[in-house]
Structure 1
């Protein structure tokens, strides 16, 4: 059985067909040989035995016709009638001679040759006797002819017939022997054919059963294995101890099952990993969404602060324009004081009042510069919180602080000048004599104040432009933040959908049953890193870039 299992199905079928063909060929050859023997026996009977018997019967018929003709010659007196009978006897004699020649040529058995010799001798004696009867009849010796015919010739005829009958019996005996041989050959051939056919049938049935079992058994095993795999049970172990196509099929099914086990195990593990990762992504997106909302709120607060800073800068610009107008008025008053010296005291009083008003305005400008510096510092801090997105905003805030510092410096100088002017006005009351020179100095100082105020106004314009740029940057940051929030929501929805799909995939592959070893291998797969419990802090490089700016602001504010 092991040898058969190691043969390919084609080789098994070829072996079975070869054995069947061998039996069929054996049966056909044996039947052909037996049929040839039977045919030879029948041909011998038909072409030899029967022909010889027929020839002997024809010889006897010729003898009977010759005997009738001799009888007629012995009885007739008419020469013509006797002549006709003699012609008949001659024809019969000729036919008999031809038949004897054929018998001599065809009889080969010793017994047959012996009997044929007896027939020939009897024929010769009979022929000589009837010739004498014919001669007597022709001579019209009818009584002598009849006596010879009824006496000697009749006894010789009887001996002739007996010798012919003996040869006929011998030929019939040979025919019976041939018939018996043919019947025996038929019986033997029939029995042999039946035995060989039975052996062929038994061998064919045995081979059919053996081959069928060797083919059907592994196919049933393969079908059972396929049904087992179809039911989801992958704990399949098929014996691969065969080398035929069925063994190859079972081996292929085992390899397919092993590959399916690997695929299912990998899919199951990856599905769980994807589910865990998608859950972490969803939680991370939720945290990112919360931080994005906080950033949007901070940007809104920054926008409100920038609006306040813009209002302060606009107020500073208005104040600077008023100061410029006052400085122009002071310059005109100083010029008028040079012409009208008699009104010096009143003018000095007006200058004193104007100087005090300017001092108040300068104090206001100083407060505006202080508030501007504070707002710029707050804007820089908010820009530092915004990280990379607030870098441009930090630059603008630094420029605003620079302008505020310049405004403070100018206000400080104006304050110093105003103080000097007040002192000079107080001294002017006692130094009227020096009024002309002092008025000239005042005119120069007022012009300088006007220049400084124009510089403050220009700085305020630049601050306004910077604040406009800062507002645009804040609006852009707010738009980017809103877009990020929408993207975060979409990412969260996609992560949740991925989580559901991973769970569905895990439930789908959970139908398959794996062996314990394969489950343990899958269980030892590396786990995915867990999501951090708290949001990650902002990158350190942003803090490094913001810190120097904050330090610089503190130093400038201290000096201010």
Structure 2
């Protein structure tokens, strides 16, 4: 059976198990819901019957109340009692009708069907007493015993109905609990079956699918790590995993065949290249690889043969160029010595120039420093002038405030003058009234004269104060004008000092720029001096390197003579005598230069008699 068919059948079995579990749960829930509904109906019936029993007692209370309402001292109103009676009888009939309509129990139906007749008799007896209590109270009291007889008859019937309804409610509750227990047991059984079925499915899937896949994955990891002898399990299965195992087995066989072919080819490559490399190590550059190598190793064979051919050509060229290099290096050594002497003279001139420029730089820096100090002093003068202008501004503002205050004092003096005038008028009026009073007003007349005299004196003093205040205001105006003139003079001084400050700043900036330029020139000259001295040292090193190059060229020719390049046997290079060593001219006062980095020297073609060209240089 294939895995897909097995998985479909297992899925169908699990689906059927889920349907059974779900159906069982739904059935159990429906049974519990039905039992709860019946229990609710029984509880509603019991509550309704208890309400009807209460209305039965309420009607009796209404009868007693209506009989007591005949006494005016009772405070009861017939209208209110009548309304309560009608409501109680209505609720009683409604409750009895609901009891009789219940069909959930035969016992309950048997007793509730017997309630309607005594209830109507009881209600009619009560209504008759209500009617008689209004027209014939004595008759109403005579019918009261018969009413109580009907009350007890209905009470007996209501009690039997209550017992039946309570028994029915208890039975309904017991049945509900029993159904709940049955549903719980059934759900537990179904859950156990579902868990067992799921466990069986998982175990089957693990044994038939997951475990074989893990084994195949381990086999693939072994193959990936290079173990081509690993055993492939599951090739005898008839499902998809068996097909995968068969494919993996074929893949392993192909890898084994490829590995065997690779080992054989590698052995052939090692043998052919080993022979050629051995000949190459012995100096035979005519050795090549002639073995028939398979793709992609044919490229290796061609590349090796091409590299050996290139090396053979290169060794030949090196042998031919060694003599030329030896001659050129000797001429370079002679030219370098002459260049060193010329560089020494140039270095001495640059050193003297650098010393003169350094002295010029110091003098310009001193001038720039003095100009900067002069600018600072000008800044201080400007600050002092600004402070003076601020003081004059504050003086002007203070005098203006004094002038405003004087104006206020003038208003006060004018008010005092008016008060003195009115006081004098009042004193005159008082004197007139004292004159009219005769002898009794003489003392008051004397006081009025004194007050009038005092008022006249106050007017005179107010006039003097006004004159003094006017003079003071005039002086204040003059002082303000003078202070403003001083402020204008300070403003002119500030402008002049600012112009001087700008001129000094320009002078300082120009001196600083000149100092900077001279400093840069000094730096450039010093750099040229150091570069010239370093060039002299480098020329000396170049001369020594040229002599070393000539020696190395001789050695290179001797080494190339050891190789066989297929031109009539070995190619021999004639060693030349090393050039005579010339003592290079050493420049004076040369600092120890930094070692110049090695660079590849271009090929120089030097003809015979080239010494004249180097001398002119």
Superposed pair shares fold, TM > 0.5: no
The TM-score range, normalised by the shorter chain, is 0.3 to 0.5
Query: RCO higher in 1 or 2 (8 Å CA, sep ≥ 6)?
Result: 1
Bigger helix fraction = 1
Larger Rg: 1
TM-score, length-scaled by structure 2: 0.41
TM-score by length of 1: 0.45
